Structure 1
Amino acid sequence: MIAIEDLRLAVALSRCESLSAAARVLNVSPPALSMRLRKLETQLGITLANRDARRLSLTADGERFAEESAHLLEQLEALPESFKQHDERLVGTLRLAAPFGYGRQRIAPLLARFAKLHPQLCLHLDLRETPWPDRHDSDAVIHIGSLNDSLWIARPLAHNHRWLCASPAYLEQHGVPSTPDELACHRCICIRENDEDVTLWHLSKGQAKKTLRIEPALLSNDGSVARRWPSRGWASSCARSGTSATPLPAAGW
């Protein structure tokens, strides 16, 4: 079997004018190099070089073998780097901050699946009331709402749609509002997930849009808590889809 040292020997012979010069390049003695060359020629069954005391010249077979040897050595040297470039494994620690409700319901399940794909990656999920990028203990932050600071690099992940909901028990007791303005007379629930004004509700129906100010009867920074309140008949809320409350009809507008 041809060894890497045989390939380097052939390349050195092609670049040197004598056995002595090739021996210096390979850091071996001329007699050891000459013995190695004879052994390789015997193994291949061909003559690789014509040599005398002063001069060395490769045969046609020797030139072809030296060319192929140089090509193989280049491939071997590039092999480790090629594996580094195509290695998609993630290693290290990733720290992620997210709001309580959205982080618990949406981000935590995604991170669990992501961890299975990258078992060498350690994931930290920090649930906060108002996670902001200016806290440098996180690699990435999930922020709900607009990001006013232009210094941060932001990418939209999903739309956070909300629905105006109330429990059947609440509607039976307090009636169904026929217009958005009547919400001012109802007990409303707000979810505070950032520093935005949560008492200012933006409603839409098709192309129609309505903004109104409400006085919350109940307010929480935890979405799961705010979703339980309407289901118990305590008030109406502007909640995400998937709740057990009844969406309110938008009659009259």
Structure 2
Amino acid sequence: MPLNDIGLLRFFVGVVTAGSLSGAARAQHITLPSASRKLRQLENDCGVRLLHRTTRRQSLTDEGQLLYARAVRILDDLEHVEQLLQHKNENVTGQLRVTTPISLGRRRIAPLLARFGALHPELQIQVALTDTVLDLVDAGVDVAIHLGGMDDSSYISRPLAPNHRVLCASPDYLRRHGEPGQITDLNRHQCLHIGLLPQAEWRLDDQVVRIQAHLAANDGEVVQQWALDGYGIALKSIWDVAQDLKAGRLKQVLPGHRSPAAPLHAVYPHKHHVAPRVHACIDYLAAHLQRPDEESW
């Protein structure tokens, strides 16, 4: 089998990733007839059919699945060799795409990434702030910062720093409505929830409290501002509210109760070889993310 064209292997992996021949043609900036010729050439070289194709969908044959798995490994190994030859283990270069929750990103992650980028002038860093959990491969993300890990074997999750959530409200709200004395008292208060549905479950210690949110939003900063403006009680990451608690703009509610730990994690796709820039970025964040000063409030 005269299969010796790395370009055809890259093309085939692109076809599988795109989900269609036309999608691969667009992604690789070639015409659909050219893409069809490449696929026929590869199947002729292999001597087997690699794809089942209809007008609506495509699927891999058994031989196609085998070739795809091996091609990904071969291309991964080739990239690793190229990195070694270009001394990329010493020089952090290329593009690095990072996603992070909005509040945490603005307050903590983005400033650190700017400093990291200043240390590596040949590195281009792109930061996307979102509270939505993305498919990292589909979105082309190298590293995602999460509050808590991800139970997905296709990702590697590395802890960066401790984190838990705290109940908090403005002093003005607590003067007007009083402070809850126990967890069940939350049902009588105006609760602020991160999410699009007003119904939510808050976990504190070993208890689950079902709340009906007075206000709900899918943006953590909006919810935090509502709490600062005196509209209710919010359950927020200590990383987001530590400074407001320290300054007295917010006050912790039910301080004897905590939500389960949800450490900050760096999550990245599981690959045979991970680019040095990814490891360097994660190492930098782990070294420079400081624990919020909880003893001062």
Q: With the length of structure 2 as denominator, give the TM-score of the two structures.
A: 0.50
Equivalent position SS for 2:147? coil
Q: Which amino acid aligns with 2:126?
A: H
State the match for 1:130 in structure 2. Answer: 132
Residue matched to 1:106 = 108
**Cα RMSD, aligned residues only:** 3.0
Local SS of the residue matching 2:99: strand
Which consecutive residues of structure 1, in runs of 5 or more, have no partner in the other structure? Answer: 1-81
1:142 maps to what in 2? 145
Q: How does 1:162-201 map to 2 (within 5 A)?
A: 162-192=165-195, 199-201=200-202
Could you report, residue by residue, the CA deviation over 1:2-54 in whole angstroms, capped at 9, with x for unpaired residues? xxxxxxxxxxxxxxxxxxxxxxxxxxxxxxxxxxxxxxxxxxxxxxxxxxxxx
Secondary structure, aligned partner of 1:156: strand
1:222, distance to aligned residue in structure 2 (A): 2.4
Preserved CA contact (<8 Å) 2:183 2:254: no
> Structure 2: which 5+ runs fail to align?
1-83, 258-297
- Mark the CA change 1:219 to 1:134 in structure 2 (over 3 Å): closer, same or farther: farther
Match of 1:247 in 2: 252
SS at match of 2:126: strand
**Deviation of the 1:225 alpha carbon:** 1.9
Identity over aligned pairs, percent: 37
Q: Which among 205, 210, 227 is matched to residue 207 of structure 2?
A: 210
Change (3 A) 1:86 1:123: closer
Superposed displacement of residue 111, structure 1: 0.3
Bigger-Rg structure (1/2): 1
Q: Distance in 2 between matches of 1:191 and 1:250?
A: 20
The residue that corresponds to 2:52 in the other structure is none
- 2:201 alignment partner AA: L
Structure 1 residue aligned with 2:162: 159
Preserved CA contact (<8 Å) 2:226 2:232: yes
Structure 1 residue 247, shift from structure 2 partner:
0.8
In 2: Cα distance, 1:97 partner to 1:236 partner: 28
Following superposition, which runs of at least 4 residues in structure 1 exceed 3 angstroms of deviation? 82-87, 249-252
How many positions carry a matched residue from both structures? 166
Q: Please tell me whether the aligned partners of residues 187 and 217 of structure 1 are also in contact (alpha carbons under 8 angstroms).
A: yes
The normalised TM-score by structure 1 is 0.57
Q: Distance in 1 between matches of 2:89 and 2:141?
A: 25
**RCO comparison, higher one (Cα < 8 Å, 6+):** 2
SS of the aligned residue for 1:101 comes to helix
CA shift, 1:134, in A, is: 4.2
